[in-house]
Structure 1
Amino acid sequence: MDFRTQDYDYVVVGSGSAGSIVARRLADDVNNKVLLIEAGSSGNSLLQIPSVGVMLQNSVFDWQYRTVPQKNACLALDKKVSLWPMGKILGGTSMLNNMVYVRGHPDDFAKWYKDSCDFNYTKDILPYFEKLEHNGTNKYKCSIMISESPFKSNISDYLLQAGLCLGFPISDGVNSEPEPKLTMKNGQRWTAYHQLAKLKKRNLEVLTNSLVEKVLLRDNFEAYGVRYSHLDEHYQVTASKGVILSAGVIGSPKILMLSGIGPKDHLRKMKITPRIDLPVGDNLQDHVATGADLVLLDSPPNLGVRQMTSYSSFFQYFLSSKGPWTTAGCENVAFFNAEPENVPELQFMILPLGFTSDQGKFLRSLVGIGDSLWNNYFAKINKPSFTVLPVVLHPKSRGTVRLKNKNPKTPPRIDPNYLSDSYDVEILVEGIEMIKSFIDTPPMRRLGARLNNNTFPGCEGHTFDTTPYWECYVRHLTLTSYHPVGTCQLGSVVDYDFQVRGTSKLYVVDGSVLPELPSGNPNGAIMMMAERAADIIKHHCWLSQRKCCATEVFVDQCNCGVN
């Protein structure tokens, strides 16, 4: 089909978790003609093997984003840069992630809608989680398939027992299972795009290997289509009802700024004519972590390079969809707050492997561990290790996404400004102290678990296992949890109907609209928001806005029911 000659009702940009859900829900109406545009390729069925996801990083299926050198963090990583993999493939980043599905705490969403008059979690959020998830009636009415992992290592039970010894809360405020739910079906990675493709909707077309360069806007700032490039040729398609950007926390603000929507001074510097002055690209935040290979063991877990490359694992997967190849990487999660009734401030993600498990052949390259750090620290670890990552759930540090120039093919300038707020450092140090308590429990002592007491390079001036030492440690070994959000946030860049302020028929629906991070892995919250946004968009809620109370914030007043 020649997409260049086609007119559509809706054009959705990006086939990740949010874009696939929005495209699918808009196409539920057979009268809507929908085009889904993806910059990457279609991939193949082998990429649905769960353990393959980590191998897609730094490949053609990854945007291979890099942050700018950090001033307060990542000090030991190569060039002080954090590597940010994001999916450039049908399915988006959900083809690369650990597939962990949590809802988050109900109070998270109240913060997002703090300027709304009548927000109610039970009315405005919960029905969309229920719509998203498989409810046992018609499995193809849901947008994602969720299951338990078919495989867990032999140390998983020890970890759970240790958590119980300490009274670790294992709930995110909704879910109570310490073994996370996964976006998986029959042992295969199952994204929102896979669910969409299974439906084979005739009124939905998919265009791959096509980079959207800008939104087409009329003089009254009404969006009527997009311009994109395919095989170095430029084309455009029109959309009579709406353009929805779901290109992610980096891609969506980039497209807006290339279209003249963003900070006017920055756009002028990039030699782009400003059309609408909005704080696009501000408010960048990420779940920051630390602690790689911090816990050592007497004997290795039954998950490592030898198990992953064995014939047994091969046959287990292809004959019964079980075994080590179905691992999600993250086997257990726990949430903690000093005040149990409050929103959690710490999450622990427990991985049965450390970065040394492959002797430095591949895993270290994923986080930017260079030769010097490897040789002076990680290579000296002579025991098996596993990783307990403390994660700051609600960091206070904020960064930005900005263009480097007006060439659509140039990666943007990403500065998360990690650990610029001392609160984030304090929470990470608190997490390390809890890890020390964790490995001192009887179950972990039976495993021979102990703290890695090798002094971290750059922190030799501090006494090991003191607060100043750990503060130095987290600033040197600063790790992303791959959870950035916020660059087109609700209430400032987009209204509560997901429409870009000052425009009509132009929407943003992805992690970039989240004003703050949820209490847990954000993919579940992003997909829920996509369900909500699709309802609002297809009911044309932009026609029914009014000022909320005495504020200047516009909120939708449509009664968009759940179908």
Structure 2
Amino acid sequence: MSWVPPDLASLCTPHSHVSTCSTATVMFLQLVAQLLGYSMDDNSNKFFHNVPSSFLHTPYFLEFHQVNQGNKADVYDFIIVGAGSAGCVVANRLSNIKEWKILLLEAGQEEPAVASVPAMASMLQRSSIDWNYRTRPQPHACKARRNKGCGWARGKVMGGSSTINYMIYMRGHPSDYDRWAMDGNEGWSFEEVLPYFKKSERNEDEDILKQSPHYHGKKGYQTVERFPYQDKNVHPLIEAWKELGYPETDQNGEDQIGVMNMQSTSRHGERLSTNRAFLEPIRHKRSNLEIQTQSHVTRVLINPETKKAYGVEYASSTGQKIKQVFAKKEIILSAGSINSPKILMLSGVGPEDHLAYFNIPVIKNLPVGYNLQDHVTTDGLVFALNHTSTAAQPDQRIHDLYKFIDYHKGPLSATGPLQVGVFIKTSYEQEHHVPDIQYSFDTANVNDFLKDPTDAAETKVEPLSYYDGIMVRPILLPPKSRGLIGLNKTDPLWGDPLIFPNYFTESPDLERMVEGLQLGTALIHTKAMQHIGARIVDIPMPACAELDFGSDYYWKCVVQHYTATIFHPVGTCKMGPHWDQGAVVDPTLRVYGISNLRVIDASIMPKIVRGNTNAPTIMIGEKGADMIKQYWLKDKDP
């Protein structure tokens, strides 16, 4: 299947005047799809389009009379659901045991070539490789967004969200993991998880390895590096934060607070998703690993009497029926923080009151879907650039596109100012040397932002290389607010899950964000920012126009109306000890009360880490695979 870019015809409102809705942008997207829409993986399956719509939308319990019971060839040792940031790692590590037969099921398609272009991360969201989820309306956030909900991008593709994210390699603070361990999760302290971070990592920046040798690996599958191409605003941003007293540091080393030219999950100017890092080297070399794309898992098969998981059901592109496959050892859910809880609930594992609403027989009553956490941010603070704008004409963009295709070099081989990362501590953070706000520096088209900030956000597809403004985003690292995931009440099987992030329902989440915005405005007064002619776009956002620009009340309004996210949902299948009433899985990631079933992905995080979640999810995959081996191999050498 070829990649389909975001549909601007549906995203652009009839009266939209933002540049991303122009004919030039549509034509550029079409060119990108034509040149880079093909699959990067061999033996891709056909798109799941032959199943009649009447089948897809029948009530949940009418599905099961159409089951293909399978045969002996459909029996595996392990079945992994989801080829995302963790699932690809687990598939690699388990399949190196030649005696084990592994099946990896992925709902999405093969990874398209366009995903390899770092600057095109912005056009992967809302495309055919994104689940295109949105949050439900909520009282304290996303109030100026369309339908009062925020978009939640999730990768529906080989590599999962590691194929559509912004590639930042960040682990969080060591105390995050120590806190997990102190809360009863034995084996998850920082010193105990650090070997798994290092195991996956192939760090190619010699200065980082020299500066922090204890913290980094150089023999893993996942290449980690700074982008070879450096955007012209990277250095000024770093110097500006140094003027404010923040040191330049390795934020994956001993000290996180400070500024850094960040490393990414890339290789020589190309994205390196977990699909390409962990599966591409082995995919056609290990006959015991079978990968099926376009295979949408609907539930785990669990014996209601023995409480033992023994298989899964999924809708396959090979036919018009639900298909069953079976596992002799374990089922591993790696479908992510939204779909892992959805699959569990459809399988009869979840809150009994919620399952009863859908007449789903309860096999195990567990708080599945609760404890949802995310890193929230806002669109409200923009610096216009007078001297260092990188806005480009259409012919320049086409030239850069062919330059990347031919040489993997040029502006498209990096992510613009997003290469800079900053961690700071506000007055609300009580722990010593621990940050509570992270900054990212997103690209912005100032005119689009001024014309319609909502449309500008909803239709953003421009490559990250081209911009005339920098959006300063404070990101809330330790949210106290907790949300939940529920089944779609109209169509629980095929409908999007109901997502309630509950942003800003607890204090001091909103207050931390306001302080982060106020510090962000101070950046404009540095010599480095003045040297590049940066100025604050101080025209009030439409929903907050009655308030004084720059006041705390103004920023509170902006945060709650123009809410955004950097797409880090975690926690919905919480890991915890047996006495933790909020836990879904134990510290070995086994689902409580169900044998032969584990969850290995970001949903198991008890508390969200203080940093980007992709690297920690890869670590969870490494550690989870190792625990499986320890259990099944006993004293044998894995």
Could you say whether these structures have the same fold, taking a TM-score greater than 0.5 normalized by the shorter chain as the test?
yes
Per-residue deviation, 1:168: 2.2
Distance (Å, rounded) in 1 between the aligned partners of 2:159 and 2:456: 20
1:554 is aligned to: none
2:503 is aligned to: 418
1:324 is aligned to: 411
Work out whether 1:387 is the aligned partner of 2:477. Answer: no
Are the aligned partners of 2:449 and 2:456 in contact in 1 as well (CA < 8 Å)?
no
1:376 is aligned to: none
Q: Relative to structure 2, which stretch is displaced further, 353-362 or 466-475? A: 353-362
Structure 1 residues 243 and 459: CA distance shift in structure 2, 3 A: same
Work out whether 1:174 is the aligned partner of 2:242. Answer: no
1:350 is aligned to: 441
2:339 is aligned to: 251
Structure 1 residues 494 and 361: CA distance shift in structure 2, 3 A: farther
1:230 is aligned to: 316
Per-residue deviation, 1:355: 4.7
Work out whether 1:215 is the aligned partner of 2:300. Answer: yes
Aligned residue identity for 2:407: S
Are the aligned partners of 2:229 and 2:269 in contact in 1 as well (CA < 8 Å)?
no
Are the aligned partners of 2:203 and 2:224 in contact in 1 as well (CA < 8 Å)?
no
Gapped runs of 5+ residues in structure 2? 1-42, 44-67, 205-216, 461-466, 577-582
Distance (Å, rounded) in 2 between the aligned partners of 1:52 and 1:357: 21
2:546 is aligned to: 461
2:534 is aligned to: 449
* SS of match in other structure, 1:10: strand
* SS of match in other structure, 1:213: strand
* SS of match in other structure, 1:181: coil
2:78 is aligned to: 10
Structure 1 residues 290 and 365: CA distance shift in structure 2, 3 A: same
- Percent identical across equivalent pairs? 36
Q: Relative to structure 2, which stretch is displaced further, 327-336 or 425-434? A: 327-336
Question: What's the CA shift string for 1:110-140, capped at 9, x where partnerless?
Answer: 122223386574641111111010168xx99
Distance (Å, rounded) in 1 between the aligned partners of 2:274 and 2:345: 27
* SS of match in other structure, 2:589: coil
* SS of match in other structure, 1:94: helix
Q: Which of residues 145, 148, 169 in structure 1 aligns to 2:226?
A: 148
Distance (Å, rounded) in 1 between the aligned partners of 2:238 and 2:625: 39
2:487 is aligned to: 403
Question: What's the CA shift string for 1:55-81, capped at 9, x where partnerless?
Answer: 122122111101101210111111211
Are the aligned partners of 1:11 and 1:35 in contact in 2 as well (CA < 8 Å)?
yes
* SS of match in other structure, 1:163: helix
Structure 1 residues 362 and 252: CA distance shift in structure 2, 3 A: farther
- Equivalent residue runs for 1:526-541 within 5 Å: 526-540=617-631
Structure 1 residues 146 and 363: CA distance shift in structure 2, 3 A: farther
1:23 is aligned to: 91
Distance (Å, rounded) in 1 between the aligned partners of 2:78 and 2:452: 41
Distance (Å, rounded) in 1 between the aligned partners of 2:240 and 2:107: 45
Q: Relative to structure 2, which stretch is displaced further, 393-402 or 460-469? A: 460-469
Per-residue deviation, 1:319: 3.2
Distance (Å, rounded) in 2 between the aligned partners of 1:206 and 1:120: 30
Structure 1 residues 173 and 526: CA distance shift in structure 2, 3 A: same
Distance (Å, rounded) in 2 between the aligned partners of 1:180 and 1:109: 21
Question: What's the CA shift string for 1:121-166, capped at 9, x where partnerless?
Answer: 4641111111010168xx9962311111122221111111101001
1:265 is aligned to: 353
Gapped runs of 5+ residues in structure 1? 371-382, 544-557
Normalising by structure 1, report the TM-score.
0.88
Per-residue deviation, 1:51: 2.3
Question: What's the CA shift string for 1:226-252, capped at 9, x where partnerless?
Answer: 000124421010011100000001000
Work out whether 1:428 is the aligned partner of 2:506. Answer: no
Work out whether 1:109 is the aligned partner of 2:196. Answer: no
Are the aligned partners of 1:536 and 1:560 in contact in 2 as well (CA < 8 Å)?
no
* SS of match in other structure, 1:295: strand
Q: Which of residues 276, 283, 286 in structure 2 aligns to 1:194?
A: 276
Per-residue deviation, 1:328: 2.7
* SS of match in other structure, 2:544: coil
Are the aligned partners of 1:485 and 1:511 in contact in 2 as well (CA < 8 Å)?
yes
Alpha-carbon RMSD across the aligned residues, in angstroms, is 2.9
Are the aligned partners of 1:82 and 1:368 in contact in 2 as well (CA < 8 Å)?
no
Per-residue deviation, 1:514: 0.7
Structure 1 residues 88 and 199: CA distance shift in structure 2, 3 A: same
Per-residue deviation, 1:460: 3.1
- Equivalent residue runs for 1:279-294 within 5 Å: 279-292=367-380, 294=382
Distance (Å, rounded) in 1 between the aligned partners of 2:185 and 2:152: 37
